[in-house]
Amino acid sequence: MSTGHVSTIDTPISPFTAIVAMDGAVLASGWTASTDDLLPQISPSLRPTTLTTRRDLGAVTKAVRAYHGGDLDAIAEIPVRQRSGEFMQQAWDALRTVPAGKPVSYADYALLAGRPAAVRAAATACARNAATLFVPCHRVIRTGGAIGNFRWGSDVKRWLLNHES
């Protein structure tokens, strides 16, 4: 049996909820007030069996507030824990190297992840990213500049990209 901590923070977009492991690593996060939206995104091998609600998650809460307040690099040092195959892991790591205000296309993202021909697999890595914001999949857009899909909706993605530009 494992325990995770959860907290929901008001942001200018909507409520933002994070689920973290006992050591503070983000397991899942997003612009929702419901853990039901987040728990299925966590790998079964990492998914907590018990969640304890906390008002504050320390560094995670501080980073979320700072990011939404304008410190776009506040999220960079927050530890994240996700589990999948080798390419997904590489792709999620690559997302953390995309700087704020410098979105990349899915093709460029596939190249960053080490498999230039794997554009669809790169898009799948974005779709399966449980730790949104901390693994900034919103920074990947379609070739030509269209926003593309985002689990939390195109309005949230547009707000994030505008916030970072």
35 Cβ contact partners less than 8 Å away, ≥ 6 residues apart = 6, 17, 19, 51
Closest CA to 9 of 21, 19, 18: 18
Selecting among 6, 126, 137, 141, the annotated active-site residue is 137
Indicate the pairing of strand 26-30 with strand 16-20.
antiparallel
Please count the CA atoms within 13 angstroms of the CA of 157 that sit on its side-chain side: 19
- The DSSP code for 34 is -
Q: How many helices (H) and strands (E) does the chain have?
A: 5, 6
Q: Give catalytic status of residue 126 as yes or no.
A: no
Q: Whole-angstrom Cα distance, residue 10 to residue 38?
A: 17
Unique residue bearing structure tokens 């974005």: 126
Q: Which residues participate in catalysis according to the annotation?
A: 137
